[in-house]
Structure 1
Amino acid sequence: MKYIRRAADRGAVNLGWLVSKHSFSFGSYQDPKHMGVSALRVINDDMVMPGQGFGTHGHRDMEIISYVTEGALKHEDSEGNKHIVPAGDVQRMSAGSGVMHSEFNPSETEKVKFLQIWIQPNKMGIKPSYEQNTIPQSGPLTPLVTASGENGTLSLNQDARLSRLVLSDKESFNLTPGDRIGYLHLIKGEFKVDGESFAAGDAFAMEPKQQLVLTATSALEALWFELPPKQ
């Protein structure tokens, strides 16, 4: 592992209505050592207070994925999409040639927690699009987003794949990105790999062809990215 990103070292933002941890440079947090991994540009660990949210704002030429871990997120955009994204759902918006959208916590009592993920596309200026789905876990590693949208996954305008890793305590898993760059972001739980211990919010990258055996030291949930080797 040449790149380890510890939860405590992430950029931190507290706006009252929003508490966020930035794995990579974003907004007012800029660090040239942490600009992203391959096409992965943003992982923001966001917590939005009840009845609050991001007002209408614009994006273009970016694949934006939201993965809700607690509560629910209300999405509206200029393409006419209006949806509630509950915990466990995955959402993908291709900003393409340009889209305006807002994200709000519709609850007046509960916080919403979600990971906001940006992946640089391999096609520019396309028509904006939106997908959302509940994808049940099937085995330890379950694909959520793929380039072709295969087998019920959401599609992505990039040669990349996003999967959810779920392990029980003491369970092991052989992790390899094949000919791609791998990146694992731990949502909850703990594990050990290659002599290092990892806890919620921690992450690491893997080089193509590298293999590591990950052993859970508690029940865990993580997101596993397989990314282009060159970007």
Structure 2
Amino acid sequence: MLAPAANSLTGTRGITRGVTDIRRAGDRFRTESEWLDSHHSFSFGRYYDPANVGFGLLLVHNDEVVAPGTGFDTHPHQDLEIVTWVLRGALVHQDSEGHNGIVYPGLAQRMSAGSGIQHSEKNDAGEPVRYIQMWVRPDELDLDPSYQQAEVGNSLATGELVPIASGLAKHEGSSAIRINQQDAGMSVARLQPGKAIQLPTAPYVHLFVALGAVSLEGAGDLGTADAARVVAADGQRVTAGPDGAEVLVWEMHSR
């Protein structure tokens, strides 16, 4: 994986409190090669925009498609909580701590880079893999590197907003996997047509429409790969369109 742009820890700028900032899919930064098509919600790699270097505690939110038989060779990370959510296909993970895993739709994965880890991400299948990779800073630096994955498909069948990767106290015992950041948590909902959820009440909420389309209360319609950054979120309703939707929601209580 490419490194985030320099200064990616400076937080969010140019967003007024209480305002929902809509970011359309086509406006994202893009890295494209023969084997990779990656869209970046925030400054990343060679793309740098000082007004778009993160939101809340969320540093990286990449929407990536990797061609069959290709992927990211072994590369290092340090002091990051890395959450990967696969939407189509399968991604093979291997790291220097001896962890191995195959990540596919309905399986949550977290790698804590801690004091330092090296890993690779490969698409060994015969079809492209599409996944969302998200990075947040941990509460503490120089933690022991660790890895966790868990099946969540049955929970998502309820249509509720399901805690997937969280360090929030309210998600203790209910989140599929834990991250080392007590002020952040990522939840997912798979919504049938016309069904709705409420966004969490939090200082910072990042809503990403991974599949389908939704209507966000007070902000209008969002399509596939559109996002909303909500400051001082207070439970706005998210309603799925006629074909349903899958949404990823980060709730963050600091920056």
Residue 214 of structure 2 aligns with which residue?
191
Residue 16 of structure 1 aligns with which residue?
34
Aligned equivalent of 1:151, options 151, 162, 174:
174
Aligned-pair RMSD on alpha carbons?
A: 1.5
Equivalent residues in 2 for 1:132-143 (5 A)?
Answer: 132-135=149-152, 136=154, 137=156, 138-143=158-163
Equivalent residues in 2 for 1:21-36 (5 A)?
Answer: 21-36=39-54
Shift of 1:180: 3.5
Contact in 2 for aligned 1:39/1:121 (Cα 8 Å): no
Where structure 2 has 5 or more consecutive residues not aligned to the other structure, the ranges are: 1-18
Task: Report sequence identity in percent.
Answer: 38
Shift of 1:90: 1.4
Residue 8 of structure 2 aligns with which residue?
none
> Secondary structure of 1:151's partner?
coil
Contact in 1 for aligned 2:63/2:130 (Cα 8 Å): yes
Contact in 2 for aligned 1:178/1:210 (Cα 8 Å): yes
| 1:170 equivalenced with 2:188 (yes/no) | no
> Secondary structure of 1:140's partner?
coil
Equivalent residues in 2 for 1:1-231 (5 A)?
Answer: 1-107=19-125, 109-135=126-152, 136=154, 137=156, 138-147=158-167, 150-151=173-174, 153-158=176-181, 159-175=183-199, 177-193=200-216, 194-218=218-242, 219-228=244-253, 230-231=254-255
Number of corresponding residues? 228
Q: Aligned partners of 1:181, 1:168: CA distance in 2, in Å?
A: 26
* Structure 1 stretches of 4+ moved >6 Å: none
> Secondary structure of 1:8's partner?
helix
Q: Aligned partners of 1:173, 1:65: CA distance in 2, in Å?
A: 22
Q: Residue 215 of structure 2 aligns to which amino acid in structure 1?
A: K
Q: Residue 145 of structure 2 aligns to which amino acid in structure 1?
A: P
Q: Aligned partners of 2:210, 2:75: CA distance in 1, in Å?
A: 27
Shift of 1:209: 4.9
Shift of 1:168: 1.5
Contact in 1 for aligned 2:159/2:191 (Cα 8 Å): no
* Closer, same or farther: CA 152–172 of 1 in aligned 2, 3 Å: closer
Structure 1 residues 52-72: Cα deviation after superposition (integer angstroms, max 9, x where no partner): 000010000000011011111
49-58 vs 142-151, which moves further:
142-151
Q: Aligned partners of 2:205, 2:137: CA distance in 1, in Å?
A: 16
